[in-house]
Chains A and B, each alone.
Chain A
């Protein structure tokens, strides 16, 4: 396209005068500079009501720039100072949530009991609950959390205990107990898992809110408790929790309800999308977890964090896991390099030979 020109001297001159090195755009700095826009990008635009918001901003700019507003604001500030000094209405603080205050308050919590539900559903099948080995994966949860000792999570179906995870913080060990199968497994807890323990406490949740993108959704009422709702979306704390073949958390969206009077979390909801991995038995699954808080600084017996396997239970082996996994998912195990292909083939061969001998 370049035309033949007799103005090469001019091109050189313009180039010398105007040229600059390309600047590399730093998106993370841009998001820091424009946090509202970054939030929009994170949470989508569907319910943002942007045109309305822009209009409101413009109206606010007009109002705030007016001299009348400035004088009125000065008067209000002067009045407010007087009221705070005289303190006729008691201490301030019931008007809303300041996350930094909440963070400070939850830092003082040593123990708590959390109750809730954990439901695994298949994506796109209109909420069909995932069923594994005859058990519907819709658990009632009880969690016992202690800053000093660790965390215990129990999953029930009806009254039957299906699993119990015990993360022992001082020993950095995890015990998984599966009563329906009389099996147990022990694992060494990684730093990341220990960090997640923190994230599952109110302190961690508030930290997540403060560190990541979050937005206020307004006020609500839970069982007569006035709360403010926050939405957050950050998979970062869960990345590296386990390798992808073990647990593949691909997205997370959560909400936290914080009591306005108590300045403490009352409820947390999380919606995860977990890709095919060992923890989901090689299925793409949605996980919805709802936790309700309320029992803070209760006395917890140290023994519940014990990681000694119960009597009469045998250790979970790879063969046990394989026998629980459907045949089609085993290919996934091999594909992800968790199990050598030869092992599966050998197991099948041995099973066939046993059957043949029985006949």
Chain B
């Protein structure tokens, strides 16, 4: 059976149908976690950010002018929520670590730490694509839905991201 379009679920949710919003949440949750994890250092924080983004989306749902663009809209909310959380996390941890994740990981595994650094060096929109692609192995179609971009654009971003990462790793003497 064909699943209802996002816009139908949004309209139903606005007419007091919680199940429809639940369906939207299920549809996008994993993408949102991946997206948040591209910004936040910790998987649990990323889940928190995704859930907070869904709550924010629920509150703002009547303001969504184009329900067919629910995916990119919730994606943007999640990005903002994750950035807010990152600022908070960094403020809390600054006293202890200069860059918490890198320092901690370096001690555990130097190579892994270099990869983390490489990901950190990526521009945000490229890092997001990498996380969406490799986090839950999202298809280009699924990624296009939440990023509001064409598959060609996503493919281009992924290529550029990999090129930058490969270059960085080479420069740091990363062994394959």
Binding site for B on A (CB under 8 A): 1-3, 5, 7, 9-11, 13-15, 17-25, 27, 30-31, 33-34, 37-38, 40-45, 48, 50-51, 53-54, 233
The residue of chain B having its C-beta at the shortest distance from the C-beta of A44 within the complex is B16
Q: Is B39 an interface residue (CB 8 A)?
A: no
Q: A9-B176, A22-B30 are in contact. Are A1 and B140 (CB under 8 A)?
A: yes
Given contacts A20-B135, A33-B51, contact A43 B26 (CB under 8 A): no
Contact status of A37 and B140, CB under 8 A, knowing A10-B165, A31-B18, A42-B16 = no
Chain A residues positioned under 8 Å from B130 (CB to CB): 14, 18
Q: Which of B52-60, B69-77, B83-91 contacts A (4 or more CB under 8 A)?
A: B52-60
Cβ–Cβ contact B162 & A7, under 8 A: yes
Any A CB within 8 A of the CB of B8: no
Please give me the 8 A-B residue pairs with the lowest Cβ-Cβ distance, nearest first: A27-B22, A44-B16, A25-B29, A41-B18, A18-B134, A37-B58, A34-B55, A45-B62
Closest chain A CB from B144 CB (angstroms) = 10
Instruction: Mark each residue of chain B from 14 to 52: 1 if its CB lies under 8 Å from any CB of chain A, else 0.
Output: 111110011001100110010001000001000100010
Most A CB atoms within 10 A — which of B140, B159, B166? B166
* Chain B: interface size category: 35 or more
Contact A34 B43 (CB under 8 A): no
Q: Enumerate chain A residues within 8 angstroms of B25, measured Cβ to Cβ.
A: 25, 27, 30
On whether A10 and B16 interact (CB within 8 A), knowing A27-B25, A45-B62, the answer reads no
A-side contacts of B26, CB under 8 Å: 24-25, 27
Residues of chain A contacted by B159 (CB below 8 angstroms): 3, 5
Q: Taking A10-B162, A30-B51 as contacts, is the C-beta distance between A17 and B14 under 8 angstroms? A: no
Q: Kindly report which residue of chain B lies nearest to residue A45, judged by CB atoms.
A: B62
Q: Is the CB of A34 within 8 A of B29?
A: no
**Residues in A whose Cβ lies below 8 Å from that of B22:** 27
Known: A1-B151, A1-B155, A23-B29. 9 other contacts (CB 8 A): A5-B162, A14-B115, A14-B162, A14-B165, A23-B47, A41-B58, A44-B15, A44-B16, A45-B14
Shortest Cβ gap from A170 to chain B (Å): 39
Decide: B137 and A19 in contact? CB cutoff 8 A.
yes
CB of A37 within 8 A of CB of B55, answer yes
B152 surroundings in chain A (CB, below 8 A): 1
Residue of A nearest to B30 (CB): A22
Q: Shortest Cβ distance from A48 into chain B, in angstroms?
A: 8
Which residues of B are interface residues toward A (Cβ below 8 A)? 13-18, 21-22, 25-26, 29-30, 33, 37, 43, 47, 51, 54-55, 58-63, 112, 115-116, 130-131, 134-137, 140, 151-152, 155, 159, 162, 165-166, 169, 176
* CB neighbours of A5 from chain B (8 A): 159, 162
Using Cβ atoms and an 8 Å threshold, which residues of chain B touch A2?
Answer: 155
Instruction: Give A78 Cβ to nearest chain B Cβ, in Å.
Output: 31
Residue of A nearest to B139 (CB): A1
A54 CB contacts on chain B under 8 angstroms: 59-60
C-alpha spacing A15/B131, complex, angstroms: 9
- Tell me the smallest distance from the CB of A156 to a CB of chain B, in Å: 34
Complex partner residue of A37 from B29, B59, B63, B162, CB under 8 angstroms: B59
14 sample A-B contacts, Cβ–Cβ < 8 Å, listed by A number = A13-B115, A14-B115, A17-B112, A17-B134, A19-B135, A22-B30, A23-B47, A27-B26, A37-B59, A41-B18, A41-B21, A44-B14, A50-B63, A233-B16
Q: Please name all residues of chain A whose beta carbon is closer than 8 Å to the beta carbon of B15 when the two chains form the complex.
A: 44
Complex contact A18–B30 (CB within 8 A): no
Q: Nearest Cβ in chain A — how far from B16, in angstroms?
A: 4
| Residue numbers in B under 8 Å from A43 (CB-CB) | 16
- Given known pairs A7-B162, A23-B47, the reply for A14 and B30 (CB within 8 Å) is no
Q: Which residues from chain A contact B60 at a C-beta distance below 8 Å?
A: 50, 54
Q: A356 vs B79: C-alpha distance in the bound complex, in angstroms?
A: 81
Q: Across the interface, do B136 and A42 meet the contact criterion of CB distance under 8 Å?
A: no
Which residues of A lie under 8 Å from residue B55 when comparing CB positions?
Answer: 30, 33-34, 37
A153 to chain B, nearest CB (A): 30
A270 to B85, CA, bound (A): 43
Collect the chain A residues with CB atoms within 8 Å of residue B29's CB.
23, 25
A18 to B158 alpha-carbon distance, docked (Å): 15
Partner of A22, one of B18, B136, B155, B166: B136
Q: In the bound complex, how far is the Cα of B170 from the Cα of A151, in angstroms? A: 82
How many angstroms from the CA of A160 to the CA of B168 in the assembled complex? 90
Q: Is the CB of B13 within 8 A of A41?
A: yes
